[in-house]
Chain A
C-alpha cells in the first residue's frame, strides 16, 4: 500500500474521486472506494453495516503498531485516530468495505486469542508487531480482498489527515504566504502536509 501516495496530485481540474483526500499535494485514494463508487452506486448501507466504537479502538491499536511513536513524531494512538477511522468507515466507505473490515476485525480478535492467548491490547509492542507482520504477509498473499489492506489504508489515511499527523509527522503551514518553486531540501525535512 506504500504506493497509494504516489499517484499524481489532484490538479485544478481533477475531479476528487469518492473517498479521496489530498495529503501533501498528493491524491490519496482508497482502492476499495474507487471500485465501489466509480460505477453504479450501491444502495445506502444499512446502519448495522458500520463499525462500533470498540472496532474503531482496535483499529487505532492496529494503526499504532503500523505507525508507532518515534523520536520524529507521535504515533497513531497519540494522534487519536479512532474517531477519524470510525468516520471514514461509517460515512465514506461502502457497505462491502464496511463488512470486510468488521468481519476482519472479528477474525483478528479470535486470532489474537488463538496465537497469543489474549486480546491484542494485552500484547507487548513486539508481540503486536510480530502478529501483524504475519497478518500482513497473509494479506499480501491473499490479494486485494483481504481486510488488512483496508486496515493499513485506514491507518495511513486517518493518521496523515489528523492534526498530529499533518503538523508533527508532516509539516502543514496554514498560510504559507508565498510560493517558492525550487529550494534545497533540508536534512531530515519531512514532506509537506
Chain B
C-alpha cells in the first residue's frame, strides 16, 4: 500500500467559512494545500438530503421529535435546528465539554462546518468599531483598521456574492453588492415611521450572502439565483447562498492543489525548536484513532474560535509549555460573543390589502446608533438590530369551529413587526476557556472548559435596547407590543470570538497585524479566535476578509523566504 502523502506547502485546519477561504486563496496561488476537517465529508448537492422536501414531506412536518430533543438538549437550542437540519449539527453526547459558567457551544462538524447553517449576514465593520474600544476606554486597539481590510472586504464580497443597498451610512459601510432584496410593506412603513421620528434610526436592507442576481464569477462556481425558498440551512441545491461546500472548496479543488481529509481530528500543532517554526500537525483519525503527522511550511488555524484556541492550548513543547505562541499568557483569554438576549414584536394594523410573494431569506437591519464614535449611552459598545415585517395567518371568526372558522384560519392575518438585538460585548481577561486538568474527549484530547459570562455592561445594554425597541415599535404604530429578555447563555449567539487575539504588543496579544502568531510566524489564526473586540456586526465576512488578507501575505512572505 502506498504511503499517503504527508507533506504539503500549507495545512489548513478546518473547512468552515474561514478555512474554505484559506484553501481557496492558497490553492489559487499555487500552494499544495491540505485541508483537515474533523467531521465527515459533505459534498455540494449530493449531501443535502432534505433540501428539496416540502414541509409535509418531513417525517414530523417540521415539528421536532422529543427523542431528538431529549438526546440533544444543548445543540437543539441552536437557531435553525430541526429534523430538517440536525445532520449539520453535532450530537451532544459525541463532543463533551465542561461549562464552568453556562455556555452553549454550537458546533457543526463536517466539511463546510457551520458555513452550511450560518445566518448569512455580511455587514462590514465601521471604521469606528476597530478603534472604539481603545478610544472610549473599554479595550485594546486592533493592530489594523478599516483601511487595512476595505479592499479585502471587496475581494470577498465579489466572490461570495453579497446583496445589499448603497446606504451611505457611517455605522455600516457600503460594499460591492448585488441588488438588495425588497422591503415588504410593513418594513417600508417602519422605515418611514422611524425616519419621521428620529434623526439616527436607519432601517435598511441587511447585507446577505445571497445571490439576488449572480455575476459571471458566481456562475463559474456553478451557483445560481436565490430562489426565495428560505430553506438555506438544509444546503441549497441552487447554490443561492454562500458556503464553503458550494463555493470556496470546489473552487480550490479545481486548481488541482487541494487535498481535503475529512474525519481528521487535529490533536496539536508540532513545533520545531531548532528552526523556531511550526513544522506540521498531529492528526487522529476519527474512526480508527490512528495518528498521522503532516508537514507543511505554513499552517492556517481555522477550526472555529474555541477549537482553534483549544488546539493551540494543546500544542505544548519545551519552548511553549502553556500552548503554542503563548508567551503572554493570554491564550484562551478575552473570549467574547454577541449579546442576543432581547427581542420585541407588535401587531401592526392596516396594510390588509398588501401582501408579498416568495419566502424572504433575508432581514432588514436597524443600523447601530449607540456610541458611534462617541460615548452617548450608560454602557459601552454598540448594537445592531435585525428587524422585519411579517404577516400572520388567520383572522378572527364569529364561530370557533365549522366552515367559517376554517376558511378564516386560512386567510392572511394582521401584520406584525419584530426586532432583536446583536450587541457588542467587552472582551475580558476573566472570560476565558482552558483545557480541563483531567477530563478528556473521546479522542484523548483534554476537554475544553468554558468560563464566559455576561457583565453589568451587557445588562445595561439590554435595558436600553428594550426601552428603545418598545419606543420604536410604538412610534411605528404597533399595538400589543411585547418585549423580552430570553436570558440565553453566551454561545447560543454562535458568535463566540477571541481566545487568540490580534494586537500590536506581543506582551498582551497572540497575533500580529497579519494574523501570525507573534512567536511562531508561520502559524496563522484567521477565524473568530483572532478577534480583538467584537464590534456589533455579524462577524463571518470579517473572518473571510482577514483570512484572504493573511493568506496573500503568507504567500508573499514565503516568496521572500521569510517563513
Contacts and interface: CB of A to CB of B under 8 A. Distances in A.
Interface of A: 2, 5-9, 11-16, 18-26, 37, 41, 44-45, 65-70, 72-73, 75, 84, 87-88, 91-94, 129, 132-133, 136, 152, 156-158, 160-163, 166, 169-170, 172-185, 189-193
B219 interface: no
A7 B391 CA distance: 10
Given A88-B61, A181-B185, 17 more contacts: A2-B396, A5-B392, A8-B416, A9-B388, A20-B64, A22-B62, A26-B393, A66-B402, A66-B405, A156-B409, A174-B52, A178-B228, A179-B360, A181-B356, A182-B183, A185-B412, A193-B55
Which among A133, A156, A182 has the highest number of chain B CB atoms within 10 Å? A182
Given A6-B347, A161-B55, A183-B354, A91 B409 contact: no
A12 B183 CA distance: 16
B162 to A, nearest CB: 15
Contacts of B353: 184-185
Nearest to A193: B55
Contacts of A24: 391-393
A70 B67 contact: no
A5 B360 CA distance: 19
Nearest to A3: B394
B182 A176 contact: no
Nearest to B397: A2
Given A163-B54, A163-B56, A179 B354 contact: no
Contacts of A72: 407, 410
Which among B69, B187, B418, B492 has the highest number of chain A CB atoms within 10 Å? B69
A9 to B, nearest CB: 4
B77 interface: yes
B54 A166 contact: yes
A19 B63 contact: yes
A152 B412 CA distance: 20
Given A92-B65, A181-B183, A185-B353, A5 B394 contact: yes
B363 A176 contact: no
B104 to A, nearest CB: 10
B183 A70 contact: no
Interface stretch (B32-40, B79-87, B426-434): B79-87
A161 B363 contact: no
B73 A41 contact: yes
Given A44-B70, A177-B227, A161 B61 contact: yes
B440 interface: no
Interface in B389-404: 390-394, 396-397, 399-403
B411 interface: yes
B217 interface: no
A41 B391 contact: no
A15 B416 CA distance: 19
Contacts of B374: none
